[in-house]
Structure 1
Amino acid sequence: MRHALAIGAMALALSGCMALDADDVREPPPIPAKLIAAMAKNGSKPESPVLIRIFKQESELEVWKQNKQGQYALLKSYPMCRWSGKLGPKMKSGDRQAPEGFYHVSAGMLNPKSQYFLSFNLGYPNRLESALGYTGEALMVHGACSSSGCYAMTDQGVGEIYSVVQRALAGGQGTFQVQAYPFRMTAENMAKHRGDPNFDFWKNIKQGYDIFEATKRQPKVSACGRRYVFNTDFADGEPSDPLAACPAAISTPDAGLVARLQSEDAKLAGMMTNQTSAPLNAYVDGGMHPSFRALLEKNGAEKLAAKISGTKYPISRPEAALADPYAGL
């Protein structure tokens, strides 16, 4: 029996960051007064819609809040303590990859009983990923500093994030969008990674990144033709088969936005002609924000784990976190 339980626990660990729930429901901390003041300054309030962006290489998570004009303003950027895998999308259970793509999180995906303090499920695999045959489950944003495919934000960090998104969902936002990227998708960064096998996928998700950068409005996300399609309305409604060719579009693109996106495409094309690709880094395992890496180097893994979480989870693969395979990119 114990052997069977051990095998089951190992399978869960490999499939994502799933852990057995804690015995009690944890109430998230109140939204800090500084964050509420920052919302007011940006023209939003705690009940206003929220949007999250995640950047692996930079090990950062951004929380954005919608203002009265319907645009999003950056509320706060959080350093990420740990993520696992490497740059690129998650494709199968056990690959330790943290997901990349577009996800929509509802209230039912929040977990106030997480053994990683608090967490919310990204909803991987989404419709497109499921159609492509990608596998995995329980890919989360959570506390502590341990990852096997998730984004670990420390207890304090996830406490703030959780309280902000919970308040927005309670205020009437049906789902909030999470945009997860390998890096900040500037033309310069894309050109550096032009030799990566994931480049075509990154060009696709960069379209959503560029739309948000240009408009500060949440892009509408569809899936057809084996890719994401943004801000498009279709004659017969949303495409039902992400693998089939995209149906005829009926929406008229905004001319100003199209011009800005075309300018970004031209900039990338020029940089790809003139810039040398970044050398491929030896795979270690994921990343850690420099602020946490400095603490890990100074204090060691046990002291850092105790400092940033009360859940007693050790830092995952601390040697790999210290190696920083993305330095210099």
Structure 2
Amino acid sequence: MRLTYLAATVAAAALISGCTASDTLVDSVDVNLKTVTSKVNYELSGKIVQKMQAMNMAKTSPIMLRIFKEEGALEVWKANSANRFEKLREYKICAWSGKLGPKVKEGDRQAPEGYYPLAPGQMNPNSSYYLAINTGFPNQFDRANGRFGTNLMIHGACSSSGCYSMTDEQMQEIFALARDAFKGGQKTIQLQALPFRMTAENMARHRNSPNFEFWKNLKEGYDQFEITKRPPEFAVCEKKYVFNKQIDGRPNPAGQCPAMSTPPAMEMALASYNKKYDEDYARALKKLDGLVWYEPTEAERKAVVAKSRAGRELAYAPTGTSLDAGKLMKVADLEKQEARRAELEEARQAIEIQTAALEKTTRGGKNVPVPQQNPLPRPVLQAEAPAADNAGNGFFASLFKKKQPLTTATIEAAPQATGPAAPLPVTVETHQVKVDAPAAKAIAHKKPLPTETQTSPVTAQASSPVQPSADQAVAEQQPAEGKKPFWKLW
């Protein structure tokens, strides 16, 4: 890997003399979209061109992009005539989704974190989100660690589902800066997507995060850029980033790292940088003793900037910064809050399950009746079984057996069930029913009766509302007097 030793030496001297990063003021954008006739050919305003000239930068010199999620900031760094990068612009990111931490899989709404080279082919002037630059996720590091996803962009429209979204005005200026850098011969623009400014205090504040080891690896590149003010060269081996290393051979992202070394000038600069960092980190730990950082959700970040959506389109969805929505808390207080949140989440899931079950009982917007057991037992009429005779058994045999009239005494003589499940006593008055020949024939063939003729109504006196059916009453009666059964006509 080719390295520039002079840059590291000059950077080390700058560090010793107390050189610090540029200010963090957010720049206003001098772009009027109503006057933009071509998004691709848009020329930067005279104001920003004058700033470049004052900073001794060529219009087509290389640039680097640096993102900080927690602060909600996107920085544009540009090379000056000494080939050192200085911060030209800092924009407020309008929307980024998810929480701090890397993107792991498709649909997790996480915006990627890591180091990504942006080539001219990743510029999209026809994006549905005004303009877009594909981040190139997943890179070698992401694939080696089993992380995947598609279409992770820096784009306009201020709406994010895993992207870094700017306003259209901001995106117009960023796109033009990248276009001019490519015109000047830059092959790739380095994107550094970081969780926060990786100072000693910020690292101490996030020391309990499950992503802390990953962030420590990203910090190696952050530190070397702070020292050299040049985008670090990086490779991937053993599923980790390595920065500004002289490597023997070609590294395997998932395999063991080959022999490699750090240039002496960089090693000296890092030793001095890390010594000061360790001192600052120790002070930060003492300051934060007993305190932990509460990382807000995306919804909590959106609530902070909810008023900024007034009068905008529904698609405009700023998310706010984690610094504004998060807070330092005592460990015990955070544990109570997390326990309460877990209870609320459990209740929410229970409501979803009940709602889904209720939806299954409706069809076409109407309630589907659910069968229920009758709380009262149905009374059962019990009659004596006919004695066996020479006629045999079966349906046809039963036609030739003499039917006994149904009387109160017959029912009372039937065995009665006892106990809690015993049916209620039923008293049925003696009655007679006239059945003509067609009706008797229908009964014999078990067909519905066309008509029913009764000389007297059937009256049931019981505490239960259930009464014997008409078919039962007819079937249990003998033929009326004066008329012979149809089989005796023969």
TM range (shorter): 0.7 to 0.9
CA 1:286–1:249: 2 relative to 1, 3 Å: farther
Q: Is the Cα contact below 8 Å between 1:84 and 1:148 reproduced in 2?
A: yes
- Residue 244 of structure 1 pairs with residue 252 of structure 2: no
2:275 and 2:323 mapped to 1: Cα distance?
A: 33
**Pairing 1:236-275 to 2, within 5 Å after superposition:** 236=249, 238-239=250-251, 241-254=252-265, 255-267=267-279, 269-271=281-283, 273-274=285-286, 275=288
Letter in 1 for 2:254: L
The gaps in structure 2 that reach 5 residues or longer are 1-36, 329-490
Of the three residues 295, 307, 318, the one matched with 1:281 is: 295
1:35 and 1:176 mapped to 2: Cα distance?
A: 20
CA 1:273–1:78: 2 relative to 1, 3 Å: closer
2:201 and 2:245 mapped to 1: Cα distance?
A: 27
CA 1:69–1:200: 2 relative to 1, 3 Å: same
CA 1:174–1:327: 2 relative to 1, 3 Å: same
Of the three residues 181, 196, 199, the one matched with 2:212 is: 199
Deviation at 1:288, TM superposition (A): 6.8
Deviation at 1:328, TM superposition (A): 3.8
Q: Is the Cα contact below 8 Å between 1:98 and 1:149 reproduced in 2?
A: yes
Q: Is the Cα contact below 8 Å between 2:68 and 2:197 reproduced in 1?
A: yes
Percentage identity across aligned positions? 40
- Residue 96 of structure 1 pairs with residue 109 of structure 2: yes
- Residue 67 of structure 1 pairs with residue 80 of structure 2: yes
The match for 2:307 is 297
The match for 1:314 is 315
Summarize deviations over 1:126-182 as a string: whole Å, max 9, x none: 111011111101100000110000011110000000000111012100000000111
Deviation at 1:235, TM superposition (A): 1.3
Letter in 1 for 2:81: K
Of the three residues 68, 78, 87, the one matched with 2:100 is: 87
1:105 and 1:52 mapped to 2: Cα distance?
A: 10
Q: Is the Cα contact below 8 Å between 1:139 and 1:150 reproduced in 2?
A: yes
1:126 and 1:89 mapped to 2: Cα distance?
A: 12
1:289 and 1:121 mapped to 2: Cα distance?
A: 28
Comparing 40-49 with 263-272, greater Cα deviation is found at: 263-272
**Pairing 1:1-329 to 2, within 5 Å after superposition:** 26-236=39-249, 238-239=250-251, 241-254=252-265, 255-267=267-279, 269-271=281-283, 273-274=285-286, 275-276=288-289, 277-285=291-299, 287=301, 293=305, 296-297=306-307, 300=310, 303-305=311-313, 314-316=315-317, 321=320, 326-328=325-327
Summarize deviations over 1:33-67 as a string: whole Å, max 9, x none: 12111111222112100000001111110001001
CA 1:61–1:55: 2 relative to 1, 3 Å: same
The match for 2:426 is none
SS of the residue 2:246 aligns to: coil
Q: Is the Cα contact below 8 Å between 1:86 and 1:286 reproduced in 2?
A: no
2:197 and 2:85 mapped to 1: Cα distance?
A: 17
Q: Is the Cα contact below 8 Å between 1:109 and 1:121 reproduced in 2?
A: yes
Deviation at 1:273, TM superposition (A): 4.0
SS of the residue 1:78 aligns to: strand
Deviation at 1:269, TM superposition (A): 4.5
2:126 and 2:263 mapped to 1: Cα distance?
A: 45
CA 1:204–1:272: 2 relative to 1, 3 Å: farther
Deviation at 1:25, TM superposition (A): 8.0
CA 1:287–1:243: 2 relative to 1, 3 Å: farther
Letter in 2 for 1:114: S
The match for 2:354 is none
1:102 and 1:285 mapped to 2: Cα distance?
A: 27
The match for 2:439 is none
1:323 and 1:250 mapped to 2: Cα distance?
A: 38
2:223 and 2:276 mapped to 1: Cα distance?
A: 8
Letter in 2 for 1:252: P
Q: Is the Cα contact below 8 Å between 2:295 and 2:322 reproduced in 1?
A: no
The match for 1:8 is none
SS of the residue 2:213 aligns to: helix
1:286 and 1:65 mapped to 2: Cα distance?
A: 34
Letter in 1 for 2:263: T
Aligned residues: 289
Runs of 4+ in 1 over 4 A off after TM superposition: 285-290, 320-325
